[in-house]
Amino acid sequence: MPAIAIIGAQWGDEGKGKATDLLGTSVDYVVKFNGGNNAGHTVVITQPDGSTEKYALHLLPSGILTPGCTPVIGNGVVVDLAVLFEELEALEARGVDVSRLRISANAHVIADYNRTLDKVTERFLGSRRIGTTGRGIGPTYADKMNRIGIRVQDLFDEKILTQKVESVLELKNQILTKIYNRRAATVEATVEELLAFADRLRPMVCDTGLLLNEALDRGETVLLEAGQATLLDVDHGTYPFVTSSSATAGGACTGSGIPPRRLEQVIGIVKAYTTRVGEGPFPTELHDDAGEHLRKVGAEYGTTTGRPRRCGWYDAVIARYAARVNGVTDFVLTKLDVLTGLEQVPVCVAYDVGGVRHDEMPVNQSDFHHAVPIYEYLPGWWEDISGARTLADLPPNAQAYIKAVEEMSGARISAVGVGPSRDATVAIHDLI
Ligand code: GDP
Ligand code: IMO
Ligand code: MG
């Protein structure tokens, strides 16, 4: 079997965790290939007795919840070791088998000085801040690119680790003390913080690229699960209001060591409306009661920071862009149930920028900031759709909404979410 990627098509929180869980039973490996504990995936699992169990995952791939599936943290991830073990312990306490987790020796680790720098930089930027999650993600990726990062494999050689920490702190302490007026970090405390986890980490660490390619050679299925999303990607997103990793299908390859030729399917997760956390442009954002309605009905509050998510209507320009950048083969349209009960459902089909119509993302950042949505208004529906499992179970106007959105968005819609749990899904085409 080829490798399959799941990517976010908007600004995150599209429901990637639920989609991974939905496919989990058909795959052998689930790989997180980018980001770190800035992600927040909520997975709701229905028990045999009908009750539901809710899990919030940040650093671990959602596939850890699927019995028999091997979860992998790839080389493209930045790992906060304390968070890793906290998450593992919390899952173990709930009876989840976490023993198969494998972690790339080349993944970078988030040290305390980078968590501090993330927060103080945001404070320093004031009104120009990005609205980061404050988890040290940006500074850790910057160190990786600067070739001064600390990797998982460095934790197994104290001498090398100490040398690397000494060298990086020469620079970091200048910044911390002279620019931000903070206390300097000490080599001893930093090394101690990182070494504290080394023994527990050792058995999980391997060449995950080799592991995954051998699995593919044996005909096993590998699912690559993105954190963040296309519009938060450092290259393809709304820079500088983005995260610092490659969250798109290309990143799935570089962040895992799986070559592009092996990636045959790319599943784009797209919400039936749009949300965004943090700062940055958002053409269809609603500042009125309609936005509040979406936030309330969709429970749009961040899994990681608890921040209210900014809400707006579906944006087909963005969906088309995500389809193109990622080579999306199938979309999963999530949270359609949240749109129930609206007289009309607006969908953005293009932008007006200073009187000029843009059917594709404007090239220039300022144009995107000034983009005014051009809406098409689709008729709404009132029926409860949470029990629908096939297209025919949906009211005609909901079916028409799916069809219209599919035609505008550049790839077929193969499944539709009608509720948070795995079974609350309308299946249209086989996903695997
Ligand atoms: P992720 O970061 O892409 O994994 O998404 P999050 O978990 O941060 O946010 C998606 C939220 O929507 C979670 O609370 C999910 O339980 C929930 N969710 C996912 N799909 C659906 C759906 O089809 N309908 C409803 N009502 N909720 C959904
Ligand atoms: P999932 O995987 C939504 C946003 C932050 C901020 C910007 C940069 O749950 O979809 P960072 O801490 O990464 O440097 O912050 O990116 N952001 C997310 N927004 N969902 C996420 O992850 C996000 N991860 C980062 O709010 O605007
Ligand atoms: Mg999320």
Ligand 2 contact via 131 beta carbon (within 6 Å): yes
Phi then psi dihedrals of residue 67, to 5 deg = -60, 135
Q: Taking the CB of residue 172, how many other CB atoms lie within 10 A of it?
A: 22
Phi then psi dihedrals of residue 54, to 5 deg = -110, 135
**Both tokens of residue 204?**
């999980």
> Using N-to-C axis directions, what is the helix angle for 137-146 and 112-125, rounded to 10°?
110
Residue 1: is its pLDDT beyond 80? no
Look at ligand 1, atom 14, and give the residue with the nearest C-alpha: 42
138 near 118, Cβ under 8 Å?
yes
For 47-94, what is each residue's pLDDT tens digit? 889 899 999 999 999 999 999 999 999 999 999 999 999 999 999 999
272 near 336, Cβ under 8 Å?
yes
CA dihedral 172, 174, 177, 179 (to 10 degrees): -100
Mean pLDDT rounded to a whole number for the chain: 97
List all residues 6 or more positions away from 66 whose beta carbon is below 8 Å from its beta carbon. 21, 24, 25, 27, 30
**pLDDT confidence of residue 286:** 98
Percent of the chain's residues with pLDDT above 70: 100
Q: Is the dihedral of CA 6, 31, 119, 243 positive or negative?
A: negative
Residue 130: is its pLDDT beyond 90? yes
**pLDDT confidence of residue 304:** 81
For 170-220, what is each residue's pLDDT tens digit? 999 999 999 999 999 999 999 999 999 999 999 999 999 999 999 999 999
Instruction: Please give the distance, rounded to the nearest whole angstrom, from the Cα atom of residue 39 to the centre of ligand 3.
Output: 5
**pLDDT confidence of residue 238:** 98
186 near 153, Cβ under 8 Å?
no
Ligand 2 contact via 420 beta carbon (within 6 Å): no
Instruction: Please give the distance, rounded to the nearest whole angstrom, from the Cα atom of residue 160 to the centre of ligand 2.
Output: 32
**pLDDT confidence of residue 8:** 98
Q: Quick one: 399 exposed, middle or buried, by C-beta within 10 A (0-12, 13-18, 19+)?
A: middle
For 153-166, what is each residue's pLDDT tens digit? 999 999 999 999 99
Distance CA 224, CA 216 (A): 13
CA dihedral 213, 267, 105, 83 (to 10 degrees): -150
Q: Which whole-number Å values give the CA distances from 416 to 22, 154, 200, 293, in the listed order? A: 12, 44, 40, 21
Instruction: Please give the distance, rounded to the nearest whole angstrom, from the Cα atom of residue 205 to the centre of ligand 1.
Output: 31
The Cα angle at residue 40 between residues 35 and 45, in degrees rounded to 5:
130
Instruction: Please give the distance, rounded to the nearest whole angstrom, from the Cα atom of residue 11 to the centre of ligand 2.
Output: 8
Ligand 1 contact via 338 beta carbon (within 6 Å): yes
Candidate of 228, 241, 285, 332 to mutate for ligand 2, largest count of ligand atoms within 8 Å of Cβ: 228
pTM greater than 0.95: yes
Ligand 1 contact via 196 beta carbon (within 6 Å): no
Ordered DSSP codes for 389-413: -SGGGS-HHHHHHHHHHHHHHTSEE
Percent of the chain's residues with pLDDT above 90: 96
**pLDDT confidence of residue 404:** 98
Ligand 2 contact via 133 beta carbon (within 6 Å): yes
Q: Read off the pLDDT band of 266 (50, 70, 90).
A: very high
Is 13 known to be catalytic?
A: yes
Residue type, 418: V
Residue 239: is its pLDDT beyond 90? yes
Q: What is the mean pLDDT of residues 301-317?
A: 93
**pLDDT confidence of residue 46:** 86
Over 63-114, what HEC string results? Answer: HHHCCCCEEEECCCEEECHHHHHHHHHHHHHCCCCCCCCEEECCCEECCHHH
**Ligand approaching nearest to the C-alpha of 62:** 1
Which is catalytic among the residues 41, 58, 108, 236? 41
Distance CA 428, CA 278 (A): 34
355 near 420, Cβ under 8 Å?
no
Instruction: Please give the distance, rounded to the nearest whole angstrom, from the Cα atom of residue 119 to the centre of ligand 3.
Output: 20
